[in-house]
Structure 1
Amino acid sequence: MNNYLASGLCLLALHSSAQALTLPASPVTAPEVDTSIDLKTPTTAGSRLNLTALQTPGSVQSQTGAQIRERGDASVQDAVSRATGISRTGTPGDGGTSLQARGFTGQGSVMQLYDGNRMYTGMGTSTFPVDTWAVERVDVLRGPASVLYGEGATGAVINTLAKKPFAGEIENHIRLGYGSHDRQQQALDSGGSLTDTVSYRLNLNRLRSNGFIDRGDSASDFVSAALRWEAADNLSFTLAHDYGDQRPQNYFGTPLINGQLHKGLRDKNYNVSNDTQHYNDQWTRLTSQWQINDNTSATNELYYLKAQRRWQNAENYNFSAGQLTRSGFYGIKHNQEQVGDRQTFTFQHSLFGLDSQTVTGVEYNRIRFQLNSNSPFNDVLKDGQPLDVHHPAPAPFESKDVHQPQFQTTSKQFSAFAENRLQLTEQLSLVTGIRRDYVHVDRDDLTKAGQSDKTLTGNNWKAGLVFAVTPDTSLYGQYATSTDGVGGLISLSPSQQQFDLASARQTEIGIKQTFWDQRGEWTLAAYHIVKKKLLIDVPGAVQLKEQVGQQSSNGLEASLDLQLPNAWQLQANAAIVRARYDDFSQVVNNQQVSRDGNRPADVPRRTANLWLSKAVSDDIRAGGGVRYVDARYADTANQNELPSYTVVDATLSWKAMRNTTLGLQLNNLFDRTYAVSQYNDGQQWILGEPRSLFVTADYTF
């Protein structure tokens, strides 16, 4: 730690160069102005130095909010799964937001940020952001990102940026929508200047649906508000608050009958009659940006995050000996509060006589988490409630165990980090970074009056070279490390607290290029990741683990973006990954069974996406896309497999009048029955939505 601080002090003492430094750019576009993003656009996920994709030694990708909404993606996870090599793995048990990237899955390996802020996930759940209406853009960095954001980012990091206040005349955008399954939307986007120094942005979105399963009603309400004050030419403050209340379709999957999916069961609901799935999230942020002088700037982000989550469901549906049964009556409640602050300084200076940029910073978080449940989750009927497969009768939730407080934790996190870009020659640059994380977790057992605590530390670094072959072509190579928890840090059990963070390292090489007078761009990347210190079962010991396992992945990723003649636009990507357990075993029937060589659950070997759109006329635009995800295993034994799927979507928009646009979204055009993810060790498939349409009317004034 002392070495890191000394390095930071040395950087502060360097002489400043004459080149001016600007604050990191923030989107300030008016409603639904689709600002194009290309390889020369600064990204927020791959670096804190405001580097473009061509300058970043890593795989970065961005989508604008307008693109996301135009394609009919209702969630950030739907939108991100169109990015290179990323697929959905979410279930109600993790908030429905879990993702897979580069062979690693879940909230503990694919980090999701909101405006650069991270909410520490309790019991592996994340339930924000709510929808895509208030999204300005989404930035993705694939591969380890712990040196930027801390533990839990070996596979990727996803940063969702909210719409920001903008200067100028007040503009309003109203949307009304209606579609299949009685889906309804009423939304507002309003923003502009209130005075010469004060601007605002307000987004409201109300969604309702009957769902595609019986008793599948869902509701969502979202508010995003921000006020920006330009206190001086070089100083600004932005106060933002986001509120989301979700009651998603309470669907824990369709059970397999004799190991097979029966399409006629797609609309059946096997849950209890008084099922509950309710998420309430609030995020408040105060951001200050200060341009101290031409070469130095400072940014401070003070934030408060609060999440409440509630489940009450029968989650397991098993078919055996000709009988379907309902079991797993889980009543769970999470209460979580997080207060944090991040202070960064950015410098433009010289180092060894070379042009250099450096960002240094510190971050502090205090997280309080409490779990209430009916643990140990003993069902009233030991063998489960019998159900009619085709006519499942709803029944009230029942459990032998009382719902009560289980434990509470107080976690304190502190980190210091630095990142530097050094221009070695006119064409060659070196990007490096270091980070030191410290987390202390105090855990109080509320059932046995016990107490335990754990201190975890993580040290991560990266180094990458970028060679600008031409101003439009870059070659790069990078080495980066990361750390993941063996579980959610703020909810580690006493047994999990015995272990250190799992560690990973990645080597990556790639090429990025724009061509054809900036009308086309493509990227290609190859990587190798090794993650160590996985938990494996101890033979002959009940529920005991040791931390000696290893997992690896190798892959290729490619993307292409073309502005074609006659107003055609093509975007495509594909990824191949070979993920495997190198050293991993499980105890089955008191015998240790090796899983070496097996593929981790929920990881497809191949994914691909394509989107083709055309401006038919000045007023009409049409588009269509294909999403492909290869087969995945549902278990580490690689015995239960989810089949591959290909889904086609289409959109059409018509500017009927100067301020009015009508839209049509068609999802799953060919009504494919497919499994997005799985539950209950693959005995239940979380199916994608059947063919649906959604009609929108947008009015701006």
Structure 2
Amino acid sequence: MPTPNPLTLAVSLVSVFTVLTAQAESAQNMPADELDTLTITGQAATKTETPFNETPQSFSVIEDDEWEMRGARSVQRAMDYTPGVFTNQIGASNRFDYLVLRGFSDGSLSNTFLDGLKLMGDTNSHSSMSVDPWFLDSIEVVRGPASVLYGQASPGGVVALSSKRPQFQQAGELRFTAGNNSQRSAAFDLTGPLGASQRVAYRLLGLARAADTQFGPVEEERYAIAPSLTWDMTDATSLTLKAYLQKDPEGGYHAGLPYEGTVIDRNGQRIANDFFEGEDEYDKYERTQRMLGYELEHRFADAWTGRQRLNYLNSDVELNQVYAYGWAPGSDSELARYYSGADESLEAWTLDNQLEAHLRGGFIDHTLLVGADYQRRDNRVAWPSGAFPSIDAFDPQYGAEPIAIAPGSPQDHALRQTGIYLQDQMGLGDWRLTLGGRHDWVDISNTDLTTDASSELDDTQFSGRAGLLYLFASGLAPYVSYSTAFTPTSFVDANGDLLAPMEGRQIETGLKYQPLGTQDRYSISLFRINQENVATKEQPTDPYRAVGEIESQGLELEANAQLTDRLRLQAGYSYTDITYKRSDDGNEGNHAIYAPRHQASLWGHYAFDGGRLDGLDAGLGIRHYADIYADRANTAKVPEYTLIDATLDYDLSRAGFDGMSARLNVSNLTDEEYVASCNSLEFCYFGAERSVSATLSYAF
């Protein structure tokens, strides 16, 4: 498949915008009751209910029916068709939700928020949180810096997850899934009112699933349950209590293999994409996470609303892993192997207080948001390590014992962050001006609990955003914005001191369009992001210095359209040019890894109506990735690859089984064998093989 031409695609979408604008302008002569626009909001982008085409920043919203239709079993898979997001950083691994936003992979695991509060994992460890998509109602991806509202974050953007909430109408669903690689799962969702007053509603969701993987004996297993309760205390006050408990006894595969042997031949041979380089007796990833929280909202008057959100998180992780690190010296077929372990216990609190006001000052409408939040995290870790005998990659023999394992010194990773923020969204006729500012106090420390040696950072940061948008009556909205971000790191300098946080800034301009009376959305955006204070060093053994700079610039196109009553289309394209603009390690001017310069996707879904196919839905998607560098020195690339996904869904009520439906999902339909990405020439990651699953659902 030829590499897409970004200029051609940009011109094509602008042409589409022109045609659609003309159609919308002619539609303005229709009766007003036929032109009510169905509002799509960017809740995470502004922390307020702001319509899609009034938000001067690029974002995407993925609803649960979209990823369920495609059979996604993780948050990262739910975003496979979202432009600006690369979901194949670690290939077939499902352990963490790796998401590369606008080319930035640093901190992506910590840039996930659940119901407006940060999932306080520790990116300098194995304690990164995961929420199963069965428990989610929607996912919003905000592209570009969002520190003005959320504090520390990657300049690439944030991912906001929204939980399924209690409903005041009785409903329920049971779901059962089976597939290849011994996939099996069962899930339930129950909701409705409690008592006759209609003031209290509950929701209870649960899930149990397990599967083998394509990598030898490695398995995935998960059990989760989420109870929640909403109490409308008065007409103006609401309280929601919620909990999320998840246990992953088996965390799946998470390792890489050398470029030579996976992408290119090693003495005329290739490693199989189901090869397992570890040892079954020393392979374990077990994670238990518990979250408890509440949301309190009170309307003081028609114009004033106060909110408080709190979340407590506790996580325990135990890891044992034997992994490969390059070819063994002097061998044509054996991989050198090492051992890595972890025993981690994380505890975190997050709190966000908001006051929102809708005011009119003269001829300007204001949506004012004032907030103060607090984040606290402590993670006790111990990381044993050691060496293992090598293994033949083409004729593996298992059962080896470690050569040596050294216990790791226990450490404590602590973070405290307090922030205050102010945002004013102003409407002046058809103009929309957004201004925001935030000040943060950040304390970070890494302490060796054996020696009491500690590295500490006590810093303050200011983040800001300014955006200007003009909303035409047709629904067309050009905009321009500027925003900043900061990202603390765990790297230390020659004196053992933590480096100053990385600082990012972005300028973005774009065009949005939502035709009147529809949920269709079209957008094009151009951006440039610069991140400074990036940790870099001249030689591998040298200490780090915060002198590096990364620059990411590109183009993103996205279209979501209901073309007919039965045909829906979703299309996206990203051109991302991210380079090491300044660096001490010899890579200055090179392209970054984990960032396809070209990424394109297309998904079509058709619902049959009438005839023998009445009740049948069919979906087909294609994803293409090209121009991915395999190492920071840019000596090699990952070959481009194209993946096809498909689904068939049948409403069994048409056959007399009320409330029942059956769905077949196939990802990587052609069973393409490919390397998805590389971290270096020593660690490349096989992509997922073909997956086939069948799901039976009963809604009542």
**TM class, shorter-chain normalised?**
0.7 to 0.9
Of the three residues 605, 611, 630, the one matched with 2:603 is 611
Moved more, 361-370 or 112-121: 112-121
User: Secondary structure of the residue that 2:67 maps to in structure 1?
Assistant: helix
Of the three residues 240, 243, 246, the one matched with 1:244 is 246
Q: Is the 8 A contact 1:371 1:408 kept in 2?
A: yes
Separation of aligned partners in 1, 2:615 and 2:214: 33
User: Once the 2 structures are TM-superposed, how far is the Cα of residue 236 of structure 1 from its aligned partner?
Assistant: 0.8
User: Which residue of structure 2 lines up, in the alignment, with residue 309 of structure 1?
Assistant: 317
Q: Quick check: 1:412 aligned with 2:416?
A: yes
Deviations 1:481-532 (A, max 9, x none): 11112338xxx79967442111111111111112386374311111111111
User: Secondary structure of the residue that 2:149 maps to in structure 1?
Assistant: helix
1:298–1:148 distance in 2 versus 1, CA, 3 Å: same
Separation of aligned partners in 1, 2:410 and 2:88: 28
User: Once the 2 structures are TM-superposed, how far is the Cα of residue 331 of structure 1 from its aligned partner?
Assistant: 0.8
Q: Quick check: 1:483 aligned with 2:471?
A: no
User: Once the 2 structures are TM-superposed, how far is the Cα of residue 328 of structure 1 from its aligned partner?
Assistant: 2.3
User: Which residue of structure 2 lines up, in the alignment, with residue 319 of structure 1?
Assistant: 327
Q: Is the 8 A contact 1:40 1:54 kept in 2?
A: no
Separation of aligned partners in 1, 2:503 and 2:94: 23
User: Which residue of structure 2 lines up, in the alignment, with residue 629 of structure 1?
Assistant: 625
User: Once the 2 structures are TM-superposed, how far is the Cα of residue 126 of structure 1 from its aligned partner?
Assistant: 5.7
The amino acid of 1:640's aligned partner reads A
1:570–1:268 distance in 2 versus 1, CA, 3 Å: same
Separation of aligned partners in 2, 1:563 and 1:542: 56
1:251–1:364 distance in 2 versus 1, CA, 3 Å: closer
Of the three residues 289, 310, 332, the one matched with 1:281 is 289
User: Once the 2 structures are TM-superposed, how far is the Cα of residue 580 of structure 1 from its aligned partner?
Assistant: 0.9
1:59–1:419 distance in 2 versus 1, CA, 3 Å: same
The amino acid of 1:407's aligned partner reads Q
User: Which residue of structure 2 lines up, in the alignment, with residue 503 of structure 1?
Assistant: 503
User: Once the 2 structures are TM-superposed, how far is the Cα of residue 572 of structure 1 from its aligned partner?
Assistant: 0.2
Moved more, 652-661 or 395-404: 395-404
What is the 5 A alignment of 1:646-685? 646-657=642-653, 658-678=658-678, 681-685=680-684
User: Which residue of structure 2 lines up, in the alignment, with residue 551 of structure 1?
Assistant: 550
User: Which residue of structure 1 lines up, in the alignment, with residue 217 of structure 2?
Assistant: 215
User: Which residue of structure 1 lines up, in the alignment, with residue 165 of structure 2?
Assistant: 164
Q: Quick check: 1:187 aligned with 2:193?
A: no
User: Which residue of structure 2 lines up, in the alignment, with residue 472 of structure 1?
Assistant: 475
User: Which residue of structure 1 lines up, in the alignment, with residue 277 of structure 2?
Assistant: 270
User: Which residue of structure 2 lines up, in the alignment, with residue 198 of structure 1?
Assistant: 200
Q: Is the 8 A contact 1:568 1:612 kept in 2?
A: yes
Identity within the alignment, %: 22
1:402–1:287 distance in 2 versus 1, CA, 3 Å: same
Separation of aligned partners in 2, 1:640 and 1:503: 29
User: Once the 2 structures are TM-superposed, how far is the Cα of residue 163 of structure 1 from its aligned partner?
Assistant: 0.5
What is the 5 A alignment of 1:283-432? 283-320=291-328, 321-351=331-361, 353-374=363-384, 377-379=385-387, 385-395=389-399, 398=402, 400-423=404-427, 425-432=428-435
Q: Quick check: 1:693 aligned with 2:692?
A: yes
User: Secondary structure of the residue that 2:367 maps to in structure 1?
Assistant: strand
TM-score (norm 1): 0.87
User: Which residue of structure 1 lines up, in the alignment, with residue 33 of structure 2?
Assistant: none
Q: Is the 8 A contact 1:273 1:397 kept in 2?
A: no
1:165–1:647 distance in 2 versus 1, CA, 3 Å: same
User: Once the 2 structures are TM-superposed, how far is the Cα of residue 183 of structure 1 from its aligned partner?
Assistant: 0.3
User: Secondary structure of the residue that 2:47 maps to in structure 1?
Assistant: coil
Q: Quick check: 1:644 aligned with 2:632?
A: no
1:67–1:493 distance in 2 versus 1, CA, 3 Å: farther
1:619–1:126 distance in 2 versus 1, CA, 3 Å: farther
What is the 5 A alignment of 1:454-465? 454-465=457-468
User: Which residue of structure 1 lines up, in the alignment, with residue 591 of structure 2?
Assistant: 599
Separation of aligned partners in 2, 1:697 and 1:688: 27
Separation of aligned partners in 2, 1:125 and 1:415: 26
Moved more, 249-258 or 500-509: 249-258
User: Secondary structure of the residue that 2:66 maps to in structure 1?
Assistant: helix
1:412–1:521 distance in 2 versus 1, CA, 3 Å: closer
Separation of aligned partners in 1, 2:494 and 2:547: 19
User: Which residue of structure 2 lines up, in the alignment, with residue 16 of structure 1?
Assistant: none
User: Once the 2 structures are TM-superposed, how far is the Cα of residue 534 of structure 1 from its aligned partner?
Assistant: 1.4
Separation of aligned partners in 2, 1:175 and 1:98: 27
Q: Is the 8 A contact 2:661 2:697 kept in 1?
A: yes
Moved more, 81-90 or 429-438: 81-90
User: Once the 2 structures are TM-superposed, how far is the Cα of residue 283 of structure 1 from its aligned partner?
Assistant: 1.4
What is the 5 A alignment of 1:90-101? 90-91=89-90, 95-101=95-101
Separation of aligned partners in 2, 1:496 and 1:515: 56
The amino acid of 1:644's aligned partner reads E
User: Secondary structure of the residue that 1:561 maps to in structure 2?
Assistant: strand
The amino acid of 1:272's aligned partner reads E
Separation of aligned partners in 1, 2:149 and 2:95: 25
TM-score (norm 2): 0.88
The amino acid of 1:284's aligned partner reads L
Q: Is the 8 A contact 1:109 1:154 kept in 2?
A: no
1:286–1:204 distance in 2 versus 1, CA, 3 Å: same
User: Secondary structure of the residue that 2:181 maps to in structure 1?
Assistant: helix
User: Once the 2 structures are TM-superposed, how far is the Cα of residue 184 of structure 1 from its aligned partner?
Assistant: 0.1
User: Secondary structure of the residue that 1:289 maps to in structure 2?
Assistant: strand
User: Once the 2 structures are TM-superposed, how far is the Cα of residue 272 of structure 1 from its aligned partner?
Assistant: 1.4
User: Secondary structure of the residue that 2:54 maps to in structure 1?
Assistant: coil
User: Secondary structure of the residue that 1:336 maps to in structure 2?
Assistant: strand
Separation of aligned partners in 2, 1:309 and 1:503: 31
Separation of aligned partners in 2, 1:397 and 1:485: 39
Q: What is the alpha-carbon root mean square deviation over aligned residues?
A: 2.4
Deviations 1:99-131 (A, max 9, x none): 212121132587111122113332165643332
Separation of aligned partners in 1, 2:502 and 2:254: 32
Deviations 1:533-558 (A, max 9, x none): 1122156x943122211111111111
Separation of aligned partners in 2, 1:233 and 1:433: 31
1:697–1:161 distance in 2 versus 1, CA, 3 Å: same
Q: Is the 8 A contact 1:97 1:126 kept in 2?
A: no
The amino acid of 1:402's aligned partner reads A
Separation of aligned partners in 2, 1:197 and 1:468: 39
